[in-house]
């Protein structure tokens, strides 16, 4: 399930709803992202997240489908907020439920890394020096690279 919204969410309620009545779930991996008050060595007073409605949801549905194809998930959930958020506020929730913990952990990591590198969101940070758009980071790209499909060995 995918949701892009301005409103805050309650992780406990969301997780209870995600697994309600499903006794096949043996592991639930969860990531909740919060807005930090620092970016590197610069203070962040707020962050505004923008997206392209329709396109964003379509892309998130596509990557959720890929996670379900790669791992035996019983359920998955991605909630991403948009609009102006202040430090300490929740920005994203990713949850993956599976019969076994390893699939839940791996699928959750895959979805988080994809959100950081490929999801069509734009972040504008406000600080003492003014507002600036957040640039992609090499460390995020390196983390996402581990999920790339393996290419056949040329010698085979």
- Give the domain CATH number at 97: 3.90.1170.40
pTM of the model: 0.89
User: 76-86, pLDDT tens digit by residue?
Assistant: 999 999 999 99
Q: Is 107 helix (H, G, I), strand (E, B) or coil?
A: helix
Segment-wise mean pLDDT, segments of 10 residues, the chain, 156 residues: 97 97 96 91 92 93 95 98 97 98 97 91 92 81 74 46
Domain that holds residue 34: 2-135
Q: Work out the burial of residue 81: count CB atoms within 10 Å of its CB; fewer than 13 is exposed, 13-18 middle, 19 or more buried.
A: buried
- Alpha-carbon distance of 152 to 44, in angstroms, equals 44
In a domain, 121, yes or no: yes
Number of domains in the chain: 1
Predicted pLDDT at 153: 47
- Please report whether residue 146 resides in a domain: no
With respect to residue 140, please indicate whether it lies within any of the assigned structural domains: no
**Contacts of residue 130, Cβ cutoff 8 Å, sequence gap at least 6:** none
In a domain, 145, yes or no: no
Domain membership flag for residue 32: yes
């Amino acid at each position: 399930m995918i949701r892009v919204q301005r409103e805050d969410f309650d992780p406990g309620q969301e997780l209870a709803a995600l697994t309600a009545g499903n006794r096949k779930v043996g592991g639930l991996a969860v990531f909740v992202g919060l807005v930090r008050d620092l970016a590197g060595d610069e203070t962040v007073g707020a962050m505004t997240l923008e997206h392209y409605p329709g396109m964003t949801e379509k892309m998130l549905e596509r990557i959720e489908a890929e996670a379900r194809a790669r791992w035996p998930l019983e359920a998955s959930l991605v909630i991403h907020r948009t609009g102006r958020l202040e430090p300490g506020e929740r920005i994203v929730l990713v949850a993956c439920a599976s019969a076994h913990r390893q699939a839940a952990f791996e699928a959750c990591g895959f979805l988080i890394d994809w959100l950081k590198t490929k999801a069509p969101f734009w972040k504008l940070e406000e600080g003492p020096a003014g507002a600036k758009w957040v640039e992609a980071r090499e460390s995020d790209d390196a983390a996402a690279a581990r999920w790339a499909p393996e290419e056949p060995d040329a010698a085979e």
